[in-house]
Amino acid sequence: MTLRSCAAGSEMLLAIWREFENEKLAHAYLFTGEKGVGKRTFARTLAKAILCQGEGERPCGGCRSCKRFEGGTHGNVYFPAPQPKKTTIGVDDLRSILDELSRAALDGGKRVIVINNAEKMTPASQNCLLKTLEEAPEGIYFLLVTDVERAILPTIRSRCRLVRITPWNEGRIYKALTDKGIKPERAKELTALCEGSIGRALQMQDDETYWTDRELVQRSFLIVKAMTDVPVAAQLLKDKKDDAERLLEILEQEMRLLASDIKQSGVSTRSFFPEHWQRATVQSLCRIQDAILKCKQYKFSNVGWMANAENLMMTIAEEARRWRQ
């Protein structure tokens, strides 16, 4: 993937691509935004492009530099991360890299330091980085990536070009998914489910367990129209205690999506729901969400899980009765 195609669809990222093409890159960038919006992918592609020695669109993917980058053996790119069993990037982890960088700068080659999860830098590490940012040697680029912008010291933020990556709109996600060969029907589902995160969409696509669980939610909780449906529906969940958390998570997400559809346009066209859900109201869905939350608070034994699942279904049946009136 070239830097331009990685930036496609985002004016902000295309501006960085232009800076790159015109050799006007800033020496430090801070990429922020929600999980899965493509921050890491972009930072990684930018790092690869900076180091690429190929002709034409970069990264070319074929030159020696690109191959070493892909193979994880490129000597001019650094990815500081917490040591095994540690949760923070300590000052020593960073200092050794920074020392090496300042020595390496003398020989003129470009170097890139990519700090994914930059919020994991301790304040001491951040201060250590700050010194280098203030007197950054020529040809050295810092790409910081974080989901938690406020965890980055203001002094660091002010020395980086801040790039807030916004969630993708639905059209762009749908197109990216179908471009990857995902069938339109599935791509439509994923687009609705991923909440603007292409990363999450792709993760979901690969997660077979998710689709099996989702189908079970559809066949159990969602078929309930009346109290008389509860025993049959609950029976399907009999041996599913260990999956309880995931199933409830899916149900909750679907309730949220349905409620947001109804709020926005009065109806939902989500094919996931059996027909009687078309008459659901936002208030009703809120009450069901409350019941799901309550159900999630239990640590389940086998018996407890079934009793709780049935309770939840009875709440759904009760709400469904209101829609019929």
**Amino acid at residue number 257:** L
Single out the segment in contact with Zn ion by CB under 5 A; choices: 51-59, 94-102, 241-249, 290-298: 51-59
| 307 counts as binding Zn ion under rule CB under 5 A | no
Least Å distance, CB 53 to Zn ion, is 6
Least Å distance, CB 23 to Zn ion, is 16
| 54 counts as binding Zn ion under rule CB under 5 A | yes
Single out the segment in contact with Zn ion by CB under 5 A; choices: 60-68, 87-95, 168-176, 316-324: 60-68
Q: What is the CA radius of gyration of the chain?
A: 25
Instruction: Tell me if 277 sits within 8 A of 285, measured CB to CB.
Output: no
Nearer to Zn ion, 112 or 280 (CB): 112
Least Å distance, CB 58 to Zn ion, is 6
| 98 counts as binding Zn ion under rule CB under 5 A | no
| 63 counts as binding Zn ion under rule CB under 5 A | yes
Q: Tokens 């086998």 — which residue?
A: 302
- Which tokens is 140 given? 């050295």
Quick one: which H or E segment has residue 32? Answer: strand 28-32
Q: How far apart are CA 214 and CA 2, in angstroms?
A: 35
How far from 200 is each of 87, 132, 212, 242, 269, CA to CA, in Å? 23, 34, 17, 23, 22
Under the phi-then-psi rule, with left for phi > 0, alpha for psi from -120 to 50, and beta for the rest, what region is 114?
beta
Nearer to Zn ion, 25 or 63 (CB): 63
Nearer to Zn ion, 67 or 86 (CB): 67
Q: How far apart are CA 141 and CA 164, in angstroms?
A: 18
Nearer to Zn ion, 1 or 223 (CB): 1
Least Å distance, CB 114 to Zn ion, is 17
Q: Which of 66, 160, 251, 309 binds Zn ion (CB under 5 A)?
A: 66
Least Å distance, CB 105 to Zn ion, is 22
| 198 counts as binding Zn ion under rule CB under 5 A | no
Q: Which of 1, 8, 14, 60 binds Zn ion (CB under 5 A)?
A: 60
Q: What are phi and psi of 73, to 5 degrees?
A: -120, 15
| 52 counts as binding Zn ion under rule CB under 5 A | yes
Q: How far apart are CA 112 and CA 252, in angstroms?
A: 42
Instruction: Tell me if 141 sits within 8 A of 110, measured CB to CB.
Output: yes
Name the residues that contact Zn ion, by CB under 5 A. 52, 54, 59-60, 63, 66
